Structure 1
């Protein structure tokens, strides 16, 4: 029964085929952990073991999960590459003149360097997801863990990029808050929408991967 496909409303409410596959694997592993060892190799009338039955019934979900992972990793890789390119160029384009505030300039350089390294890390992680083997067990921990780290580093790089943008505006406009604050808010609108769309994925993956087990959740 654990190897059969679950068509319950609870599974269908989980966003993304990869997280649905992860939940099915978690359910199978929990049942496998508590049954007698001999039951793991017991066959049904068609000669399938529980693991073989699971693989057969979840083949379509596994392909959909692979496509979902690759599509998400591809879109995030594009964003990460854009940030890497921008932050690399910004490092050699210093704002203001020689009379700029040294404190703001220090914030500008530190945030620029952090954004560059964080976005570079996220790109490498997403490339690792794109080149993964995509076996069944990868959906249990390996792929979700990589996606969590990739999204987290990408979000941090976006945040530090906004700090770089804000400090550069304050330097160029000589800390004229009436002008710089509205510009900073306008520049953060598209970034806010990106975080609003992608952050729920990160939250769901963290809960699904590191939250309580299925049996504990059902209590």
Structure 2
């Protein structure tokens, strides 16, 4: 046994190797009582290091109650450790805002899956899990709020510009109107496309602007990052993308009346080229869009295994290890 009192079972729990945990406990059931130098058992280590697979397997097995009642030498139970931030991006979602969302989901998941009587409310310092969560996630909350406000502010400017153009476009009648107010081109298919898409662009751009302004005026509390703020950002991005697409189609339809009949067929490829900005915008924002959808739908975010743990029980990321080697060189 090493000087840190880490048995193979405890190491496997920290590293998230479910198969090894299962085999060790099947062959040596008494190993469930193993603890490290901080008196943390297999459940506490799995919770502390965000090993979702190991934790889910443990709570699904019928182990003695003391496994779930266990506290470390500081009086921290599983919920305390779930609330304690490890200062590493352990979730497979980029950005401080989504990392905070993952931390919030993990904390609530552990809290609700353990029996209510299986943990004490205070540790040796007199702290509740909620107090630990607020204290250790203060910087992550600040970074996530700054990123979210900056992103919403940038997108709101774009949405406002599109709303301005869409309003001016929807109020303009191509070809003018007769004395009765009927458009001269009302029987043209392109006119119908122009009328509909200009109105759609106006509606979606205003909708996107409302969502982004709602983010800017939000109080940005910890629980807001779990569902409310990601949902607003997701709906705002969707509305913005729809408004950009609609305004380009509206422009092409209005420009179609300017061309002579012999040039209209040749102009179709040019209209296709005008869609390139929408394609670029979609590809640029697609990773963020996918991450928002995935993090919003999933009950628990996916664990990133770029983070590993050394023998001294200190968490390290592969990126940090590379930076350390470069400094040594």
Q: More helix by proportion, 1 or 2?
A: 1
Quick one: structure 1 residues 39 and 62, their matched pair in 2 at CA, closer, same or farther if it must change by over 3 Å?
farther
Q: Deviations over 1:161-211 (max 9, x none)?
A: 1211221222222461213422x2343233322222223212211110113
1:211 and 2:298 equivalent?
Answer: yes
**Corresponding residue for residue 219 of structure 2:** 133
**Corresponding residue for residue 95 of structure 1:** 174
Q: Deviations over 1:48-94 (max 9, x none)?
A: 11111111110000011111111111111011011101111112333
Structure-2 separation of matches of 1:195 and 1:79:
14
Give 3-state SS (helix, strand or coil) of 2:257's partner: helix
Give 3-state SS (helix, strand or coil) of 1:81's partner: helix
CA contact (8 A) 2:186 2:192 kept: no
Structure-2 separation of matches of 1:102 and 1:126:
37
Give 3-state SS (helix, strand or coil) of 1:45's partner: coil
CA contact (8 A) 1:115 1:161 kept: yes
Q: Deviations over 1:94-124 (max 9, x none)?
A: 3357468611101101000010011001101
The count of corresponding residues between Structure 1 and Structure 2 is 214
Give 3-state SS (helix, strand or coil) of 1:172's partner: coil
What are the ranges of 5 or more consecutive residues in structure 1 without an aligned counterpart? Answer: none
Structure-2 separation of matches of 1:70 and 1:156:
22
What are the ranges of 5 or more consecutive residues in structure 2 without an aligned counterpart? Answer: 1-80, 177-183, 304-329
Output the TM-score relative to the length of structure 2: 0.60
Matches within 5 A, 1:149-188: 149-174=235-260, 176-182=264-270, 184-188=271-275
Structure-1 separation of matches of 2:120 and 2:227:
24
Quick one: structure 1 residues 71 and 112, their matched pair in 2 at CA, closer, same or farther if it must change by over 3 Å?
same
Q: Which structure carries more relative contact order (alpha carbon 8 Å, separation 6+)?
A: 1
**Corresponding residue for residue 57 of structure 1:** 136
Q: Deviations over 1:114-171 (max 9, x none)?
A: 1001100110111011000111110001111111111111111111112112212222
Please point out which of 33, 36, 46 is paired with 2:112: 33
Output the TM-score relative to the length of structure 1: 0.88
Q: Deviations over 1:6-61 (max 9, x none)?
A: 345542x4222111100000100100101232566522222211111111110000
**Corresponding residue for residue 232 of structure 2:** 146
RMSD (Å), alpha carbons: 2.2
CA contact (8 A) 1:169 1:180 kept: no
